Amino acid sequence: DTAVSQTPKYLVTQMGNDKSIKCEQNLGHDTMYWYKQDSKKFLKIMFSYNNKELIINETVPNRFSPKSPDKAHLNLHINSLELGDSAVYFCASSPSSAGLAGAYNEQFFGPGTRLTVL
Amino acid sequence: QKEVEQDPGPLSVPEGAIVSLNCTYSNSAFQYFMWYRQYSRKGPELLMYTYSSGNKEDGRFTAQVDKSSKYISLFIRDSQPSDSATYLCAMTKTSYDKVIFGPGTSLSVIP
């Protein structure tokens, strides 16, 4: 019955490796996001997709590449992992990229993927 | 200056206390102001949001926005141990713009 799910929950890997994190939402939402939360709990947006199209692309290294095969899935692939990539990565989804004035477009977060790069 | 600032705490209060959590921001274009609660090793969940200035109450929680001072607050009345979590303020210009989060305040409510 999970709304936004991510796999894996934990990921421990060596520097230089390539890894992927998968995200799926069963809420029927149009928009999905990837966030990075560092050790100081700072939650920062990385990417946003609306109906499989990239709409937000923050200043993120090219080693990070999101892929949305359909609007229910948004995966994150990371090449050549570095120590500084260690963080918790959250996927989120929201109903629409545009809403009525005054109505907040609530984002629903997944449980997070804790990535540790050694 | 960071766009959103928040005292990281930690904040420790006895059960039943009134808790005040605050954020300041620099961008006057923000119109939506949210409070998210994040339990340890979980994803954030929306507690409440306010559009533009004013107050909003939901049970034991009250959110206040003062746009003239660029200051928002969350008050928790009759705090409970189950309120122990990190509280993240967040804001955005429009409902479809990117959301900027504060660094969060860690709260512990001691029984």
Q: Which stretches does DSSP call E strand in chain A?
A: 4-7, 10-13, 19-25, 31-37, 43-50, 53-57, 64-70, 73-78, 87-94, 108-109, 113-117
In this structure, are residues A110 and A70 in contact, taking their beta carbons and an 8 Å threshold?
no
Interface with B, mutate which of A35, A43, A96 (most B CBs under 10 A) = A43
The Cα–Cα gap between A31 and B99 comes to: 13
Q: Which residues pair with B57 in a beta bridge?
A: B62
Per-residue pLDDT, A94: 92
In this structure, are residues A11 and A114 in contact, taking their beta carbons and an 8 Å threshold?
yes
- Give the pLDDT band (50/70/90) at residue A34: very high
The Cα–Cα gap between A41 and B36 comes to: 13
Per-residue pLDDT, B58: 95
List chain B pLDDT tens, one digit each, 111 residues. Answer: 678 999 888 999 999 999 999 999 999 999 999 999 999 999 999 999 998 888 999 999 999 999 999 999 999 999 999 999 999 999 999 877 889 999 999 999 999
Chain A residues 25-64 with a CB less than 8 Å from chain B: 40-45, 48, 56, 58
- Are A98 and B96 an interchain contact pair (Cβ–Cβ within 8 Å)? yes
* Closest chain B residue by Cα to residue A99: B95
Tokens representing residue B86 in the block: 């990190």
The Cα–Cα gap between A90 and A21 comes to: 10
The Cα–Cα gap between A47 and A32 comes to: 8
In this structure, are residues A42 and B8 in contact, taking their beta carbons and an 8 Å threshold?
no
- Please state the length of chain B: 111
* Closest chain B residue by Cα to residue A95: B96
CB atoms within 10 A of CB A29: 22
Distance from CA of B1 to the nearest CA of A (A): 15
